[in-house]
């Protein structure tokens, strides 16, 4: 199955070709046809599945017909990064269409956005808070919206945005197409979908388990040894771009500082930075100036850096879903990737749940002098059985790669070897 089957406008097809997409991803295969027919769609899909193009392509197709110069499609996203990224995807896929999109989010001057809104814009990719601000000021007209997309709805729920979304929807025409994408389906999202979607086509892509193409290495470690272990892994592994996750903003900052002092090309991304600093960090990471980015969970969704070869959980995420979203940053669009997770005694029960999802793909690793015996799970489930691991025994012994010199490392992540979508 190729993109020709969708019979997209030649100018949109040109964008697909320019991005080098050959085969539609499963979410694209399943959702593009009903969206083109004008149906509402509820898509259960994790990040990295190609869901942005799954809704952007049919939106572009619809907007090729009809009048221009006013806002006809609205995409609501939880984070500035995701809003910016969707805007970028629209620009790339719609490069020949002359359709204009604008991203709207807080943390930057509102007057620049107001000026841009005065010029013709057909698509808005927005975060809820700033969009409401524009609605209240009367600087955006949503009365001619034909398509509404709620992207990463579960994340918007986590961030407390659902009341804002309901407020925004009151300003949209009742007669419209609504698409909702979410990696998980908590009850509040289900009831939002019941209220906003009409007779939707339900699409489910896989389980919310981390992408197939990623291998999961778990390192039992003590808090104070984490940075030494991180450096050891960075030195011995042939990496491309590495995303390191910490639990807190201050730890993201301090780990980045320690790596910087040791000569790594590193930046950090967390909520204490200004929008300008966040953008600089992302741009530098995306273009390869920084090989490592240390981030809090705000980076876990919406960052699309195709070169990410490794995700390292310096701190374990708080839930299995958060693990999925972090790991979704690597192995994107079926490229292979590796995930390393540092596990301390506090994390054992979450490891237990992940073990159930990942099964044999979860591999324990040990590094002499840096890892410890696997802490014992004191939870009732953990006491019942050893859930597949024994202290300090790795299924696959840690085989250090030949040490590489920073700045001159070879790239094993050969694009020619990247897997294509398998059907």
Contact positions toward ligand AMP, by CB under 6 A?
Answer: 21, 23-25, 28, 47-53, 304, 306, 332-333
Q: Among positive and negative, which fits the CA dihedral 201, 207, 209, 215?
A: negative
Residue closer to ligand AMP by CB (options 51, 251) is: 51
Q: In what order do the strands lie in the sheet with 123-126?
A: 101-104, 123-126, 73-76, 147-150, 177-182, 41-44, 201-204
Residue closer to ligand AMP by CB (options 36, 228) is: 36
- The minimum distance between CB 421 and ligand AMP, in angstroms, equals 6
- The minimum distance between CB 334 and ligand AMP, in angstroms, equals 8
- The minimum distance between CB 324 and ligand AMP, in angstroms, equals 13
- CA geometry: angle 135, 54, 106, nearest 5 deg: 30
Distance CA 334, CA 421 (A): 6
- CB-based contacts of 313, cutoff 8 Å, min separation 6: 245, 323, 326, 339, 340, 341, 342
Residue closer to ligand AMP by CB (options 9, 329) is: 329
Residue closer to ligand AMP by CB (options 26, 220) is: 26
Pairing of strands 337-343, 214-220: parallel
Residue closer to ligand AMP by CB (options 53, 229) is: 53
- The minimum distance between CB 26 and ligand AMP, in angstroms, equals 10
Would you say 374 and 391 are in contact if contact means Cβ atoms under 8 Å apart?
A: yes
- The minimum distance between CB 329 and ligand AMP, in angstroms, equals 10
Residue closer to ligand AMP by CB (options 12, 229) is: 12
Q: Among positive and negative, which fits the CA dihedral 80, 85, 88, 89?
A: negative
Distance CA 339, CA 47 (A): 16
| Secondary structure element (H or E) that encloses residue 85, with its range | helix 80-93
Distance CA 376, CA 49 (A): 35
- The minimum distance between CB 206 and ligand AMP, in angstroms, equals 13
Distance CA 228, CA 342 (A): 12
- The minimum distance between CB 195 and ligand AMP, in angstroms, equals 26
Q: What are phi and psi of 189, to 5 degrees?
A: -75, -40
Distance CA 352, CA 169 (A): 40
Distance CA 172, CA 371 (A): 55
- The minimum distance between CB 96 and ligand AMP, in angstroms, equals 17
CA 370 from chain centre, in angstroms, equals 31
Residue closer to ligand AMP by CB (options 82, 196) is: 82
Residue closer to ligand AMP by CB (options 18, 257) is: 18
């Amino acid at each position: 199955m190729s993109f020709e089957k969708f019979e997209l406008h030649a100018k949109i097809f040109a964008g697909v070709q320019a991005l080098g997409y050959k085969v539609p991803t499963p979410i694209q295969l399943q959702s593009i046809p009903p969206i083109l027919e004008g149906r509402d769609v509820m898509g259960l899909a994790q990040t990295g599945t190609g869901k942005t193009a799954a809704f952007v392509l049919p939106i572009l197709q619809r907007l090729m017909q009809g009048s221009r110069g006013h806002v006809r499609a609205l995409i609501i996203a939880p984070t500035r990064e995701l809003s910016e990224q969707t805007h970028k995807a629209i620009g790339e896929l719609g490069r020949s269409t002359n359709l204009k999109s604008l991203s709207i989010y807080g943390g930057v001057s509102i007057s620049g956005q107001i000026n841009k809104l005065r010029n013709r814009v057909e698509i808005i990719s927005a975060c809820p808070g700033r969009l409401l601000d524009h609605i209240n000021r009367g600087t955006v007209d949503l009365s001619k919206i034909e398509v509404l997309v709620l992207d990463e709805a579960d994340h918007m729920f986590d961030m407390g945005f659902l009341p804002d979304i309901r407020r925004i929807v009151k300003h949209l025409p009742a007669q419209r197409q609504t698409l909702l994408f979410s990696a998980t389906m908590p009850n509040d999202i289900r009831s939002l979908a019941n209220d906003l979607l009409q007779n939707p086509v339900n699409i489910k892509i896989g389980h919310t388990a981390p992408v197939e193409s990623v291998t999961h290495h778990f390192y039992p470690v003590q808090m104070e040894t984490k940075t030494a272990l991180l450096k050891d892994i960075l030195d011995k592994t042939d990496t491309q771009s590495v995303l390191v996750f910490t639990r807190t903003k201050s730890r993201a900052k301090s780990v980045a500082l320690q790596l910087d002092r040791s000569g790594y090309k590193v930046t950090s991304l967390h909520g204490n930075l200004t929008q300008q600093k966040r953008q600089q960090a992302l741009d530098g990471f995306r273009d390869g100036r920084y090989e490592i980015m240390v981030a809090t969970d705000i980076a876990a969704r919406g960052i699309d850096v195709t070169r990410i070869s490794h995700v390292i959980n310096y701190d374990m995420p708080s839930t299995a879903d958060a693990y999925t979203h972090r790991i979704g940053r690597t192995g994107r669009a079926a490229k292979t990737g590796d995930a390393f997770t540092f596990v301390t005694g506090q994390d054992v029960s979450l490891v237990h749940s992940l073990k159930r999802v990942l099964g044999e793909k979860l591999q324990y690793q040990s590094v002499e002098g840096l890892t410890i015996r696997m802490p014992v799970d004191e939870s009732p489930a953990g006491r019942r059985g050893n859930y597949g691991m024994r202290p300090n025994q790795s299924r696959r012994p840690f085989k250090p790669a030949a040490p590489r010199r920073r700045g001159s490392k070879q790239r094993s992540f050969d694009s020619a070897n990247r897997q294509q979508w398998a059907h």
